[in-house]
Amino acid sequence: MMFLAKTLSFYKRKDIQEELVKHAKDKEVAFRFDERFGKRPETLSYPNDVLELAKQRVTSFHCSEELWTNPLQLRTDMRRKEQDELRKGWDLVFDIDCHFFDYSKIAAYYAIRALKHNGVKSITAKFSGNKGFHIAVPFEAFPESIDGQPLKDLFPEAPRRIAEYIKFLIQEPLSKAIMKVEKKDFNKIIKKTGLKSERIIRYDKNEFGDEIPKLNVENFLQIDTLLLSSRHLYRMPYSFHEKSQLISVPVDINKILNFKKEFAEPNQVKVEHPFLNRDVNLCNAEKLLRNAFDHKPAGRIIEEEEKRKKKFDEKQKAYSLPEKAIGEENFPPCIKLILSGLEDGRKRAVFILINFLASCGWDYDMIEKRLVEWNEKNHEPLRQQYILGQLRYAKQGKEIKSPPNCDNLGYYKGFNVCRPEELCEQIKNPLQYAKRKERSTIHLKKKVKKK
């Protein structure tokens, strides 16, 4: 109740309402109700809607990096070509987080310097609301095309490329700056980051062949590149952060090292700095874009992503098809809740269930039968033709895909079926839960049989 009183009081402010609406223009918006997200897609058009939503217990507002001709036409099952036709542009917004707030400030400072060094003038930034910062450059600052390809269609490839480039540029100065702050005491850094020494210390040889310890920031410098995906959301400026109960407030990019969390207390927040100012000189970010593309050829980016995915798959061993179909008794709580019937998120649920059941070794006839049974339990059943169409599309795929990860906000938490239990803390994907639970069940049966 205390938090609700805070949100109502803050979102009642006319200047805050106007800023949120201004920022939401041409963007897909999602409303968060403390631990869950509302329906997607949504838009935010009128200042008074902000207060009305706060009365309905909305705690924060999130929006897409992409700009759309009509955000309400978005669907989870849209193909790349359809999205490209609907997309009118994208803003460069990357999230800088170093686990520890003071390190994040230094990283944000060097990221801004790197952008300036590349000739970018239209840089804005905001406090994320918890431990990091969001650095932004509007789409208007970029050229319309690069090498004959419309830039609006290069999402998420182009922003991901830029984020990787910026991360590369700031690693060395950030490493030196943190060592200076901590007076070359590695133990302080280990304590603050919570990482083991072998993950943050690397050894370089000097001219005499001696190995000199140096700080490796790569393992705790997070610049959100992997999550730069289609319809990825970020917290809007002047929106609450549920955990810290602070505001994601825009900051002066020239004074970011002086920023304190107290400035983000709701009663301290002033509307004085822009975030994603669109009144910019055109193409002042063209040099940045070209340097980022030259930094790593396209083939290498794709190659690295494939290697990363392969490495993850090998490590988890969770995405290989089981020899025998996994039974429903081993399904995680979220899947069981979906199968019990839904009021919201039914189309997203079809996508989840097809991929989950196929990954669990179910054949498509079994999946079809189970989806038809499930659809009858829904508050408002989907058209059977839609389900059969999605199954047909899945069958055409060359390989079976795993269901979305647990932390993908557009899915399980998005329609309130994420009810974690103890095993959920050890996994990143519902499929991992099912496989672990099945192994545990088999092991237990063998143990009982021996006795």
Specify the 3-state DSSP secondary structure of 391. Answer: helix
Q: Is the same domain home to 98 and 178?
A: yes
Residue 312 has pLDDT above 50, yes or no: no
Residues 272, 380: one domain?
no
Query: Are residues 251 and 211 part of one domain?
Result: yes
Residue whose token pair is 């070509």 = 81
**Is the pLDDT at 184 greater than 60, yes or no?**
yes
19, 152: one domain: yes
Q: Is residue 318 part of a domain?
A: no
Residues 54-83 have a mean pLDDT of 92
Report the pLDDT value the prediction gives residue 61, as an integer from 0 to 100.
97
Between CA 382 and CA 347 the distance in angstroms is: 8
Residue 163 lies in a domain: yes
Cα angle, residue 153 at apex, residues 150 and 155 outer, rounded to 5°: 130
DSSP 318-349: -SSPPSSPPPGGG--HHHHHHHT--SS-HHHH
Distance between CA 15 and CA 133 in Å, rounded?
A: 22
Which band of pLDDT confidence, cut at 50, 70 and 90, is reported for residue 315? very low
**What share of the chain has pLDDT > 70, as a percent?**
90
Q: Is the peptide bond before 274 cis (omega within 30 degrees of 0)?
A: no
Q: Identify the pLDDT of residue 389.
A: 83
Integer Cα distance of 88 and 77 in angstroms: 19
Q: Are residues 124 and 264 in the same domain?
A: yes
Q: Are residues 140 and 36 in the same domain?
A: yes
Per-residue pLDDT, averaged over 153-170, amounts to 90
Q: Model confidence over 337-365: pLDDT tens digits?
A: 999 998 888 888 898 999 899 888 888 88
Shortest CA distance to 24 belongs to which of 45, 5, 6? 45
Say yes or no to pLDDT of 240 above 70: yes
Model pLDDT, residue 1: 63
Q: What is the pTM of this model?
A: 0.66
41 and 103 fall within a common domain: yes
What pLDDT is stored for residue 420 in this prediction?
85
Query: E strands within 224-335?
Result: 233-235, 250-251
> How many whole angstroms from its chain centre is CA 4?
25
Number of folded domains that form the chain: 2
**How confident is the model over 41-66, as pLDDT tens digits?**
999 999 999 999 999 999 999 999 99
**What are the residues whose beta carbons fall under 8 Å from the beta carbon of 82, sequence distance 6 or more?**
none
Choice between 422 and 31, residue whose per-residue pLDDT is larger? 31
Give the confidence band of 446 by pLDDT, cuts at 50, 70, 90.
low
* β-strand pairing of 124-127 with 92-97: unpaired
Report pLDDT digits (tens) over 111-142: 999 999 999 999 999 999 999 999 999 999 99
CATH of the domain at 183: 3.90.920.10
pLDDT recorded at residue 302: 46
252 and 157 belong to one structural domain: yes
> Vertex 85, ends 382 and 355: CA angle to 5°?
40
Mean pLDDT rounded to a whole number for the chain? 86
- What CA–CA distances, in Å, run from 256 to 77, 103, 105, 142? 40, 12, 7, 24
Q: What pLDDT does residue 224 have?
A: 62
Question: Has residue 373 got a pLDDT over 80?
Answer: yes
86 and 46 in a common domain: yes
Q: Are residues 9 and 158 in the same domain?
A: yes
- The yes-or-no verdict on residue 152 having pLDDT over 80 is yes
Question: What is the domain range of residue 176?
Answer: 2-299
Q: What percent of the chain has pLDDT over 90?
A: 45
Least confident range of 21-30, 316-325, 441-450: 316-325
C-alpha–C-alpha distance, residues 240 and 93, integer Å: 18
- pLDDT score of 305 more than 80: no
Predicted pLDDT at 261: 96
Q: Residue 296: what pLDDT?
A: 57
